[in-house]
């Protein structure tokens, strides 16, 4: 299971299961680091067996760096939200789709309330220009030695703290749902350092083996349940590395296992250690989310459900104001209007689709959110209404809508490229009719860029393109277009001229299809 999709030529992402037996390959991992790095000695779990008591320092406020994955193209949007809501200045990574920002542990709960981030992790250490060895063997040995030199202490404190904050969070994607943990199921964060992870490790491995052989099955299962379980996920991008993601995760993870004496488990893990390598940039972190935060709103999924984090980025582009009427004429599962009704609830949202199944999914998703809000004691109502209609003939008064925001069919899983040549001009004209001249805006997502550009050029000046944000949607390179409705009066421009498509248009479309496939 790969949490990040990467083009094959750039790199890959992998999880690796590590064997728990001793290995001569790992025997040198702690030799030099314990003398060179006093911090490493402090974080070794076997150094202090008295781990049941909580240190006063654990409750002290510390500053750490949080990393977040965000929809590619909306890194600046996420940085703006972090500045507004947390007051921290975010740094955008060279690796697209990632940002980093400092935070004090007393504000950790606010991080989980951000609407623009998919996954969160606390940074253990980072290297901006890591000097990779040309030899694979030397490089892998260096990764093994790195594990015992890293400053794990603060990151593990944040991991434990996060676990207490998110103990009622949903299960972890990838099979971790079966994990029954009294402290919770979400991406766990902790106020415990490596020594506080030691309770399961108070007994040396040799003694533990002897006891396991003589103990009953129930005792063996209980002892196993107490062990801290982990996995390493390596996300690598770049073509100048002498090693693969599998090899990096295997050797680095083996060293982590020996250093902490944790148990490796691919699915029912407590801690997920992240090894992110992007060209010369290396970041080691511990995951704080068990599943992506973009799944927050949708319970009834469709074939092309849009991520809630991407919906939030699109909504911020159009800057909804109080009492704005916002329309999603091709709502699908209702992801965009739902995100808007929750986060920008001073506006009113109208969601519609020509497909009855899509409308039903939207209604079910709205009901799900309302029940959830009612269960938490919040006001259950949402400023949103749902209608089934024809996108090219909307039952809406002319010039009555402030903002139109929608995910248009790409012509891949929904519709077809051929149909888009008729659909795009027709729906853009109808959107221009209902949108307020001079002040109205539209934010439209599509991957069929050529067809969209041609349709805009045939609108007779009703729409003006303001901004394009290039995003990755399910591995497809798509554009989010911010359009401004001009002051031109609908019906008094040559927007209804349908010019026939020539052979050149058809050939160019076919060529673009081949390039994208």
Neighbours of 281 (CB within 10 A): 18
> Are 133 and 77 contained in the same domain?
yes
> Are 344 and 453 contained in the same domain?
yes
| 510 within a domain of the structure (yes/no) | no
> Are 111 and 238 contained in the same domain?
yes
| 358 within a domain of the structure (yes/no) | yes
| 367 within a domain of the structure (yes/no) | yes
Instruction: Count each helix (H run) and each strand (E run) in the chain, helices first.
Output: 15, 16
> Are 253 and 331 contained in the same domain?
no
> Are 286 and 317 contained in the same domain?
no
Range of the structural domain that residue 102 is part of? 61-167+228-293
pLDDT score for 231? 95
Neighbours of 449 (CB within 10 A): 16
pLDDT score for 497? 47
Q: What is the C-alpha to C-alpha distance for residues 445 and 386, in angstroms, rounded to an integer?
A: 20
> Are 349 and 394 contained in the same domain?
yes
Q: What is the C-alpha to C-alpha distance for residues 148 and 145, in angstroms, rounded to an integer?
A: 6
Q: What is the C-alpha to C-alpha distance for residues 258 and 262, in angstroms, rounded to an integer?
A: 7
Percent of the chain's residues with pLDDT above 90: 57
Top-confidence range, 145-154, 203-212, 407-416: 145-154
- pLDDT, tens digit, 9 for 90 and up, residues 439-460: 999 999 999 999 999 999 999 8
pLDDT band at 220 (very low <50, low <70, confident <90, very high): low
**Mean pLDDT across the chain:** 78
- Of 267 and 493, the structure prediction assigns the larger pLDDT to 267
pLDDT score for 413? 55
> Are 279 and 416 contained in the same domain?
no
Residue tagged 């074939």 (tokens): 303
Label residue 515 exposed, middle or buried (CB < 10 Å: 0-12, 13-18, 19+). exposed
| 148 within a domain of the structure (yes/no) | yes
pLDDT band at 505 (very low <50, low <70, confident <90, very high): very low
pLDDT score for 283? 96
> Are 450 and 399 contained in the same domain?
yes
pLDDT score for 412? 57
| 45 within a domain of the structure (yes/no) | no
| 207 within a domain of the structure (yes/no) | no
- Please report, for the domain that includes residue 435, its CATH number: 3.40.50.150
| Mean pLDDT value of segment 164-169 | 68
> Are 284 and 372 contained in the same domain?
no
Instruction: Assess whether pLDDT exceeds 60 at residue 400.
Output: yes
| 409 within a domain of the structure (yes/no) | yes
> Are 289 and 312 contained in the same domain?
no
pLDDT score for 459? 92
pLDDT score for 210? 41
pLDDT band at 201 (very low <50, low <70, confident <90, very high): very low
pLDDT score for 356? 93
- For the packed helices 308-318 and 335-343, what is the interaxial angle rounded to 10 degrees? 60
pLDDT score for 378? 77
| Mean pLDDT value of segment 75-102 | 93
pLDDT band at 222 (very low <50, low <70, confident <90, very high): low
Instruction: Assess whether pLDDT exceeds 60 at residue 419.
Output: yes
Number of domains in the chain: 2
pLDDT band at 221 (very low <50, low <70, confident <90, very high): low
Can you state the percent helix, strand and coil of the chain, rounding each to 5?
A: 40, 20, 40
Q: Is 86 helix (H, G, I), strand (E, B) or coil?
A: coil
| Mean pLDDT value of segment 61-69 | 95
> Are 323 and 279 contained in the same domain?
no
- pLDDT, tens digit, 9 for 90 and up, residues 239-290: 889 999 999 999 999 999 999 999 999 899 999 999 999 999 999 999 999 8
> Are 107 and 131 contained in the same domain?
yes
Neighbours of 442 (CB within 10 A): 23
- Please report, for the domain that includes residue 283, its CATH number: 3.30.2130.30
- Of 365 and 178, the structure prediction assigns the larger pLDDT to 365
Which phi and psi (to 5°) does residue 285 adopt?
-145, 175
| 197 within a domain of the structure (yes/no) | no
| Mean pLDDT value of segment 357-376 | 91
């Amino acid at each position: 299971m790969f949490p990040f999709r990467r083009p094959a030529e750039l790199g890959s992402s992998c999880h690796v299961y590590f064997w728990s037996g001793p290995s001569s390959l790992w025997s040198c991992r702690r030799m030099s680091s314990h003398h060179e790095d006093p911090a490493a000695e402090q974080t070794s779990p076997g150094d202090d067996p008295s781990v049941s008591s909580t240190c006063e320092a654990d409750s002290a406020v510390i500053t750490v760096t949080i990393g977040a994955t965000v929809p590619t193209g909306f890194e600046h949007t996420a940085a703006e939200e972090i500045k507004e809501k947390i007051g921290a200045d975010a740094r955008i990574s060279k690796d697209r789709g990632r940002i980093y920002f400092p935070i004090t542990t007393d504000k950790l709960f606010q991080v989980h309330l951000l609407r623009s981030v998919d996954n969160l992790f606390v940074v253990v250490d980072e290297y901006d220009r890591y000097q990779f060895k040309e030899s694979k063997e030397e490089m892998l040995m260096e990764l093994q030695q790195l594990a015992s030199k890293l400053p794990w202490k603060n990151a593990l404190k944040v991991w434990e703290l996060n676990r207490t904050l998110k103990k009622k969070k949903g299960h972890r994607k990838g099979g971790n749902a079966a994990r029954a943990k009294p402290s919770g199921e979400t991406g766990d964060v902790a106020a415990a350092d490596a020594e506080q992870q030691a309770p399961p490790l108070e007994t040396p491995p040799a003694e533990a083996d002897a006891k396991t052989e003589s103990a009953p099955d129930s005792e063996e299962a209980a002892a196993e349940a107490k062990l801290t379980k982990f996995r390493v996920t390596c996300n690598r991008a770049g073509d100048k590395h002498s090693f693969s993601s599998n090899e990096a995760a295997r050797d680095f993870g083996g060293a982590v296992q020996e250093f902490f004496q944790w148990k490796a488990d691919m699915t029912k893990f407590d801690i997920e250690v992240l090894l992110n390598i992007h060209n010369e940039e290396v970041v080691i972190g511990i995951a704080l989310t068990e599943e992506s935060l973009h799944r927050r709103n949708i319970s009834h999924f469709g074939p092309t459900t849009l991520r809630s984090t991407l919906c939030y980025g699109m909504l911020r582009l159009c800057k909804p104001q109080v009492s704005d009427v916002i329309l999603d004429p091709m709502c699908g599962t209702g992801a965009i209007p739902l995100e808007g009704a929750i986060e920008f609830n001073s506006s009113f949202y109208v969601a519609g689709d020509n497909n009855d199944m899509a409308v039903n999914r939207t209604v079910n998703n709205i009901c799900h959110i309302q029940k959830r809000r009612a269960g938490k004691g919040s006001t259950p109502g949402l400023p949103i209404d749902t209608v089934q209609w024809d996108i090219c003939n909307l039952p809406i008064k002319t010039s009555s809508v402030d903002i139109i925001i929608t995910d248009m069919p790409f012509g891949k899983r929904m519709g077809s490229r051929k149909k888009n040549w008729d659909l795009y001009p027709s729906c853009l004209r109808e959107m221009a009719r209902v949108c307020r001249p001079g002040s109205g805006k539209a934010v439209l997502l599509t991957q069929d860029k050529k067809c969209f550009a041609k349709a805009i050029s045939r609108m007779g000046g009703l729409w003006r393109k303001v901004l394009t944000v290039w995003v990755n949607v399910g591995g497809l390179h798509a554009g989010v277009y911010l359009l401004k409705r001009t002051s031109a009066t609908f019906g008094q421009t040559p927007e209804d001229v349908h010019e026939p498509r020539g052979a050149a248009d058809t050939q160019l479309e076919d060529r673009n299809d081949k390039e994208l496939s």
